[in-house]
Chain A
Amino acid sequence: MMTQNAPNAIELRRLEKSFGLAKIIQGVDLAVEKGERHAIIGPNGAGKSTLFNLITGKYEPTAGQVYLHGQDVSGLKPFQINRMGLSRSFQITNIFPKMTVFENIRCGLLWSMGYKYSFWHLVNRQRGVSERAEEILEDINMVSRRDELAGVLTYAEQRALEIGITIAGGADIIMLDEPTAGMSASETTYMVDLIRKVTQDKTLIVVEHDMGVVFDLADRISVLVYGEIIATDTPQAVRENQTVQEAYLGSALEELH
């Protein structure tokens, strides 16, 4: 599936994070290949979101390294990591509520399209940006909501918009933190289809509680329990893994039925 010399999209080496005395992430090793869809599952409080925040630069690791395409990015700021081609969404909806849907998407585009801190372009005149934003609106099926303020959208729409903002910059590694949390069954199905569509040919890392979503979407799954990865394997193998069964999946799978 991958050539030996191509660096992994993401690689974590002995990654640790402590808050005061509490050691939340206790030495995580993980390699996510380019183009892989990887899910991280685990019980509440296992440290999934902390791991996300370490990879994306929101937190600085206490020890260990994060490699992005083979480059050490530990300790870099979120915007630096984003510029290297990693984009994320948030567990709690994180959009620009006072801007329109279109403007939200546009914010996600400006840096990656080379506008950076420009004060010599007028945004409305940049046809490339507008066209790309319209395309993304079409991808996330929100063309009809284009001029609504993001703050007045329904919850599910805001989640979809957040995905739109996340993929807008064209990052090749997409990290989604519980994209279907709090959604109805039909909304969840819709969201999974959307995620599959917009992350084609990209590396996807997703934290998710809904086991249906996880087994549907992921090529490989890592199980995080108390800040340690106890297994990383294909969905089928993880499902049959004895340790995982005991630590977590037994109860989680029962919930599914």
Chain B
Amino acid sequence: MSEQNTSMAKSSASAQPLVPIKSALPWLAAIAFLLFLPVVFPSGAALTIMNQMAMTIIFALAYNMLLGQAGMLSFGHAVYMGLGGFFCMHLLNQVEYNELYLPLPLLPVFGGLFGLFFAFLIGSFSTRRAGTVFAMISLGVGELIAACSIIIVVFFGGEEGVSGDRTMGPEVFGFDFASQQEVYYLTAIWLILAALGMYLFSRTPIGRIANAVRDNEERAEFLGYSQRNVRWISFCASGFFCGIAGALFAINFEILTEENLNLATSGSILLITFLGGVGFFIGPVIGAVVFTLLQTVLSLYTEIWQLYLGILFVLTVMFFPAGLTGLLAMHLRPWKLGKIGLLANPYAKMLAPALVLVGSGVALMEILFHARHASLGEEEMNLFGITFNSQDWLPTIVVVAIGAGAFYLVRLLAPQVKEAWDMANHAEGQ
């Protein structure tokens, strides 16, 4: 019988290609998408946003290697991206002034190694314990390094930071990386490499055992694994990919400052990862895309974009702890049951009142903000194409009335959505 088994295994093995088409497809699609993106959005501003997105995606994916895969909550992860970036900035300066031979596309490798080195060093004591102890140490180390960046001016450049020039290195295939377009492709290639690396890491023995330690560290210990070493290795791997993101930051912006190391940056990567969903590999990607869009596009239209971001974050944590990806994944079951169509009608009905509700909430906050913070004598404000006096009570009253009406409609329609949801999730014969 065992002979039969092995022969079966062999025949199925020979039929199996090196990389199954099904698992390669999303990656090929991602590569094609990244290649064509600059064709659709060729402007310099768009390229900058896309580059920033790519870096944030790598950083968030690396952060989720800890938070999602290994169950470690770090409050100071900007340190590894930031230090990787600072060292790369100094390397670029070595290239410029001391004729160090280093082709720019290889810089992220060094960024990764610097990130890895510091993760190894700091992880040696911070990963001894999980949970609150780890979180507190990460917070302390984060503050420490951020404070150092102000004090050690020689290395961190004080408040001005460290700047450099990416174009001074040797040309690679005729590219000197002076144009945004070239930097975009460099960043995109590294995005694919890093994301693929992190994806594959999650499927190695250590990646799987990191999940095991996250879920039940005691059991893992009794299976031969030191929980501390598993956390340490996960931490080092995360630091490596953070360093790659840091190097890309150095290449893109040609300057690093204290902001790259501080708690605000550490906090926003936690926010991004959680917003996207820690339970899914793709989660941080979605979080990073949404966050970068809000940060760059929304900030063009309103000064209080951070307030909206904060509200979005709080609502996500409260109502969709699995993140935006979790919200999408919820619809997989109705989809598989072939009942996703049942949701179309109630969703469509809900759309208008929900948008009006959000819109009136936004309007209310904008009016309040304008009334309180606009410079003296500037009482006219423009919102959704309507110009009015923000000091007047009337616009506020109108907005509140519209909002209340929309809220009433949302409440009225909610049971229909819920009913449709239950129907769509109900499998026959259950």
Residues of chain A touching chain B, judged by Cβ–Cβ distance below 8 Å, are 56, 58, 77-79, 82-83, 87-88, 90, 94-99, 103, 106-108, 110-112, 115-124, 127, 131, 165, 168-169
Contacts and interface: CB of A to CB of B under 8 A. Distances in A.
B206 A107 contact: no
> What is the predominant secondary structure among interface residues of chain B facing chain A?
helix
Interface residues of B, number: 30
Given A79-B225, A111-B224, A116 B216 contact: no
Interface centre among A79, A118, A124 (most CB of B within 10 A): A79
A112 B219 contact: no
Interface centre among B13, B225, B233 (most CB of A within 10 A): B225
B240 to A, nearest CB: 11
B206 A127 contact: no
Interface in B195-240: 200-201, 203-209, 211-212, 215-216, 218-227, 229-230, 233, 237
B237 A119 contact: yes
B9 interface: yes
Given A112-B224, A117-B230, A123 B219 contact: no
A95 B219 contact: yes
A-B pairs, top 3 by smallest CB distance, nearest first, are A111-B224, A115-B205, A78-B221
B208 A79 contact: no
Contacts of B212: 96, 99, 107
A121 B215 CA distance: 22
A73 to B, nearest CB: 14
Contacts of A118: 204-206
A113 to B, nearest CB: 9
Contacts of A96: 211-212, 215-216, 219
Given A79-B224, A79-B225, A88-B222, A122 B200 contact: yes
B208 A123 contact: yes
A169 B204 CA distance: 18
Given A119-B205, A121-B205, A169-B224, 4 more contacts: A77-B221, A94-B216, A94-B218, A119-B201
22 contacts: A56-B222, A79-B226, A90-B219, A96-B216, A96-B219, A97-B216, A107-B208, A110-B208, A110-B209, A111-B224, A112-B224, A115-B205, A117-B205, A117-B209, A117-B229, A117-B230, A119-B204, A119-B205, A119-B237, A120-B204, A122-B203, A169-B223
Contacts of A120: 204
A82 B218 CA distance: 12
A111 B225 contact: yes
Nearest to A151: B215
B204 A122 contact: yes
A118 B200 CA distance: 12
A123 B203 contact: yes
A87 to B, nearest CB: 7
A99 B211 CA distance: 9
A213 B388 CA distance: 84
Contacts of A168: 223
Contacts of B225: 79, 111
A78 B209 contact: no
Contact of B220 (A58, A83, A107): A107
Contacts of A103: 208
Contacts of A119: 201, 204-207, 233, 237
Contacts of B218: 58, 78, 94
B209 A107 contact: yes
Contacts of B209: 107, 110, 117
Contacts of A127: 9, 13
Nearest to A84: B224
A123 B216 CA distance: 20
Contact of B216 (A83, A95, A124): A95
A121 B208 contact: no
B203 A124 contact: yes
